[in-house]
Structure formats: structure tokens, C-alpha cells
Amino acid sequence: MTADGVFSKRVTLTAKGIAILLMLFHHLFYDAPGFVDRYAVSAAPLSWPLLNSLSFYGKICVSVFVFLTGYGMSINLSQRNTVQRQQYAVSRFLKLECGFIFIYLLTLLSSVLQPSRMAAYFTEGKAKGLLLMVFDGLGLANFFGTATYNGTWWYMSFAIFLIFLMPVAVRLHEQFGICMVAIAALVTDFGIDSSRAFPIYLFSLSLGIWAAQSGFFGKVRSRCESTGAKWLCLLASLLCFLLFSAIRIRWGFYPWTGGLVCLSLLSVLFVLVDLLHVRLRFMELLGRYSMTIFLTHTLIYNHYFTDFIYAPKNWFLILLLLTVSSLACAAAIEFLRKLVRWDSLPVWHIGISEGRRES
């Protein structure tokens, strides 16, 4: 696949930055109603019903990350043969574990700020408690349904599942194309529990794979050669994004609107960033640290510094404070990670080759 057929890393980082901001918004005001009431948070200049609806919409952040996983891994897997695809999946898994385990160890050190939180592991004795810590430290607590130090880490189990699902999903898409997208869109109607992450986000994943394999963004580029065409495409993509977002907020249709919102959002960013060369630098910065922010922000606003984060009372100032605090924390953690050369440990490089298929 040519470079013209994919969007740039800047688009990826910007999308991740927007998604992480939506996640913070969602967790602060929809996922924490107790804090909203306890700290008498003001919705001004919005109304509480509107702020509540918008903060619930923020959960679309998960769909964005799933779409990007489907798109990005599909691009990489398409350049490899069957054996190399398996090796690539394992290398992605080790890369994910590398970042998560480092943060988990730091989290254990931070537990001195609130030692009682460790008790959740040891309700059935020390031996089982240590095993539950291993599960949690590997990101598998949600998979086993066991205790976790941080509820937000549920996504780690899902992310691991997606990594190993992707070689299979890409092969199916290569053989059946748009039929797999249709199956993903309809799967919740045929006996699969629609409350679980897999059916909820399968359509977003499938649409990301389809966008990669069909060269969707390359086709958009080919139709936007003139400046006028670029602006027209931007307007059309923005209208689609607003339409699908409005449908999601007003009526739901969550598995479908999740994927369609993601596709239209990435289309907006592709035209804006890659074709019109507009940089959203702060979103790129958030995107660069998105993984670490995702893993640590709950510790800041929910576990240790709740009074500090909600002190401004106004929703916008609270969001700004958590965003800046989470970004600063993430930058410090990444600096420490490089300082101790954590990523260079042999365990993260166990001879897994990422060689590409001969052309």
C-alpha cells in the first residue's frame, strides 16, 4: 500500500489526542456523578442536561481507539505473510505489556498515598492476592473478572484480545471484504450479548480494517486535488461527523454510530491535517502521551487528588486542570521510563522478528 493511501502519523496522534480529551470529559462528569454533586460542579455556560449528554457522548473515545487499532494494524499486517503476522501480533502484545507493567509498578509505589486500596487484592488470603496482582499487572483482571487497582484498566484486557484477533480479522476481511463489515454491524442481533465490549466495538474495528484495505483515504486524496475540492470534502466530512454524532446523542444506535462517527472524524482530520496542512499541535501532544494518560488519569482525579481536581468548581476549569495534570504526569513517567532504559530490557525483545514479506 502506497503512502498516499494512508493518513499520516500526525492524523493518528491528533485523533488519539481528541479521544483522550473526550475520555477525560466522560470520566469527570458522566462517570463520576458522586463527585459532581459532592463538589457542587457548575455546568455554566451550559445546562446540566446538555453537559450530561455531551459527557456521555465522550465514551466514543473507545470507538476511536478501536478504529485506529483496526486501521493501523491492518496496514502493517497486510505487508506480512502468515508467520510474520503472528510474530507481529506477539511483538505488539509485548510492546503493550512493556508500557503497562512499568506504570503498574509505579502505581504500586504510589499506593502509599492510599494503602487501603491494596486490600481489594487480599480479601481471600495472601496467596490468591498475589496471584490477582499478577493478573492485574498483566492487564488481565477484566478478562478473569478479578480485582483491579484501577477500574479504567478494563480496556487492557480488551486491547490484548484485539491484538491477537487482528491477524484473524484481517484474513477474513481479505477474503470476504465488505461482507465482514456487514456482519460486524449486525452481530448484536443474533444472540451475542450486546452489553459486552466485543459486539459494541466490533463494527468500529471492522470499519477501520475496511478503510485500510479498501484504500479509503487514498480515494479521498485522489478526489481532492484542488483547494476547492479539499474544502468541499472537509465540509462534507464535518457534516457527516455532526450528523452521526447528533444521532448517537439523541437516539443511540451505539455500535453503528460508533464506527460511523470514527470514520467521519478521521476523514475530517485527514483532510484538515494531511491535505490542508493544518496542525492541531496540542491534540498531537496529548496523542503522543495518550497511552500513559489513559493508564494514570484515574489515579489523579479519582484516587489521590480528587479535592484538587474538582476545586475550580466550573466544569471547563476542572477539565483543563485534569488535562494539564495528566499530561505533566505522563511526561514525567515517560522521562523516567527512558532514564532507566526500561524498553531496552531483554524481556521485551525475545527474538520476535517483524520482518516484512518479500515483494
The rounded distance, in Å, linking the Cα atoms of 145 and 172 is 30
Q: What is the pLDDT of residue 193?
A: 63
Torsion angle (degrees, nearest 10) of CA 4, 263, 32, 283: 30
Q: What is the pLDDT of residue 355?
A: 45
75 and 212 Cβ atoms separated by less than 8 Å = yes
Please report, for the chain, the start and end positions of each structural domain, with discontinuous segments joined by +: 73-214
Mean model confidence pLDDT for the chain: 92
**In the beta sheet, which residues pair with residue 314?**
42
- 132-163 pLDDT per residue, tens: 999 999 999 999 999 999 999 999 999 999 99
- 82-113 pLDDT per residue, tens: 999 999 999 999 999 999 999 999 999 999 99
Residue whose C-alpha is closest to residue 229's, from 237, 242, 215, 266: 237
Residue 354's pLDDT band, with cuts at 50, 70 and 90, is very low
Model pTM greater than 0.85?
A: yes
Cell numbers 495518550 correspond to 290
The rounded distance, in Å, linking the Cα atoms of 30 and 1 is 41
